[in-house]
A and B are shown apart, each in its own frame.
Chain A
Amino acid sequence: MRRLNYILKRLLQMLPVLLVVTIMTFLMIHLIPGDPARIMAGEKARPDAVEAMRVKLGLDKPLWEQYWIYLKNLVTLDLGTSMKFSRPVAEMIGERLPVTIALTLFSTALGLLFALPLGYVAGLQKDQPTDHAIRISTLVAIAMPSFWVGLLLMILFSVTLHWLPAGGWDATSLFSEFKCLILPAFTQSLMTAAILIRDMRNSVVDIIRQDYVDFAKSKGLSAGAVRRRHIIRNSMVSTVTLLSMRMAALLGGSVIIETVFALPGIGKLTYDAISARDYTVVQSVVFLFALLVLVVNLLTDIIYSFLDPRVEF
Chain B
Amino acid sequence: MKRYYPQSEKTRRKHLLPAWAVTPTFILGVVIVVIALIMAIFPAQIAPYDPTVVDITARTKAPSAAHIFGTDNYGRDIFSRVVWGTRIDLSIGFFGVLVPLIIGSIIGLLAAWYGGWLDSLLMRISEIMMAFPFTILVIAIITILGTGTINLYIALWLVGWMSYARLVRAEVMTLKKSEFIEAARVAGFSDARILLRHVLPNVISSSIVFAASDMVMCMLTGASMSFLGLGVQPPTPEWGAILNEGRTYITYASWMTFFPGLVLAITGVGLSLLGDSMTDILRRKGR
Contact = CB atoms under 8 A, between A and B. Distances in A.
Interface in B256-271: 257-258, 260-262, 264-269, 271
B276 interface: yes
A21 interface: yes
A274 B139 contact: yes
Contacts of A33: 146
Interface string A111-150: 0000000000000000000000000100110111111100
Contact of A252 (B124, B136, B146, B269): B136
B67 to A, nearest CB: 20
A231 interface: no
A32 B144 CA distance: 5
A143 B135 contact: no
A271 B244 CA distance: 14
B120 interface: no
Contacts of A28: 140, 143-144
B8 interface: no
B36 interface: no
A146 B269 CA distance: 14
B265 A282 contact: no
Interface in B99-149: 124, 127-128, 130-137, 139-140, 143-144, 146
Contacts of B220: 143, 145
A144 B273 CA distance: 13
Contact of A286 (B136, B216, B267, B269): B136
Contacts of A253: 133, 135
Contact of B139 (A21, A152, A270): A270
Contacts of A275: 229
Interface string A233-259: 000000000000000110111011001
B143 A248 contact: no
Max chain A Cβ within 10 angstroms of own Cβ: one of B146, B223, B269: B269
A286 B132 contact: yes
Interface residues of B, number: 46
Interface stretch (B172-180, B200-208, B246-254): B246-254
Contacts of B224: 145-147, 256
Max chain B Cβ within 10 angstroms of own Cβ: one of A21, A143, A252, A286: A143
Nearest to B25: A136
B240 interface: yes
Given A21-B128, A143-B271, A148 B265 contact: yes
A32 B216 CA distance: 30
Contact of A145 (B140, B258, B261, B271): B261
B162 interface: no
B218 interface: no
A260 B130 CA distance: 26
Contacts of B146: 33
A19 to B, nearest CB: 10
B251 A159 contact: yes
Contact of B264 (A148, A151, A290): A148
A158 B236 CA distance: 30
Nearest to B262: A148
Contacts of B223: 145
A213 interface: no
A24 interface: yes
Interface in B36-90: none
A151 B250 contact: yes
Interface in B160-178: none
5 contacts: A146-B224, A255-B136, A275-B229, A286-B139, A293-B131
Given A143-B266, A270-B139, A289-B132, 8 more contacts: A21-B131, A32-B144, A151-B261, A252-B133, A253-B133, A255-B136, A290-B132, A293-B131
Interface of B: 25, 124, 127-128, 130-137, 139-140, 143-144, 146, 216, 220, 223-224, 227-230, 240, 243, 247, 250-251, 254, 257-258, 260-262, 264-269, 271-273, 276
